[in-house]
Amino acid sequence: MAERPERKETSKENIEQALAASLKELTVRQPFDKITIRQITDGAGVIRVTFYNHFQDKYDLLGWIIRSEILAPVGILFENGMYREAIHLIFANMQKDRAFYTAAVHIEGQNSFAEISRQCIYELLLQLFSAHAAGKPAKHAWLTPEQFAQYYAESMNFIVLSWIRSGMTVSPEEMAMIYEYVGTRSMWDVLQEL
């Protein structure tokens, strides 16, 4: 009796990474709105139904890329108070995929890259603020973890998008210092320093 060849199991993570790699490659080559699920699955070597077992649509996959490749690696740094290192890693990881993010930043409309990235940043910051605020009374009823997360997600997203649109010419190290400078000063401080 002949032995069956051992079948290699494809993990959920491997499939998601293959789909992400396919989407990133396609995004560099053609407009995002023209990319089809069939193209993504063909590039990943999976069938169409497999895509829908993991993601709702290509915008959901785009959000997964941002969450897993850019934000997940910095979560532990944020939790340990290593804020500059976390911000540096965000910029460094985006720069590694420069061609993809340069193309992706042009995704407009209801599911724009700007909106998806802002939402992903908001989710990460909400976890951070909620963990720090747990069990503590609010200093002001309006100043909730949700409000802080939204405010800082908007500002971080603005800086990231501006950096991508400007060609990523400023180094990740310098961008981390710029973000730290902006994030640690009030508007009144900046007015006095100009």
pLDDT digits (tens, 9 = 90+) for 29-88: 999 999 999 999 999 999 999 999 999 999 999 999 999 999 999 988 988 889 899 999
Contact 153, 118 (CB under 8 A): yes
pLDDT at site 10: 59
Tokens of 14: 């491997």
Given pLDDT bands bounded at 50, 70 and 90, which one contains residue 5?
Answer: very low
* pLDDT tens column, 45-60: 999 999 999 999 999 9
9 vs 60 pLDDT, higher one:
60
Cβ-Cβ contacts under 8 Å for 125 (sequence gap 6 or more): 148, 149, 152, 153, 156
Provide DSSP, the chain. -PPPPPPPP--HHHHHHHHHHHHHHHHHHS-GGG--HHHHHHHHT--HHHHHHH-SSHHHHHHHHIIIIIIHHHHHHHHTT-HHHHHHHHHHHHHHTHHHHHHHTT--STT-HHHHHHHHHHHHHHHHHHHHHTTS--SSTT--HHHHHHHHHHHHHHHHHHHHHTTS-S-HHHHHHHHHHHHTS-HHHHHHH-
What does pTM read for this prediction? Answer: 0.87
Cα Rg, the chain, nearest whole Å = 20
Q: Is 102's pLDDT higher than 70?
A: yes
Tokens of 55: 């993601």
CATH architecture of 59-184: Orthogonal Bundle (1.10)
Q: Is 182's pLDDT higher than 90?
A: no
In the chain, pLDDT over 70 holds for what percent of residues? 95
Q: List Cα–Cα distances, 151 to 65, 110, 145, 155, in angstroms.
A: 23, 21, 10, 6
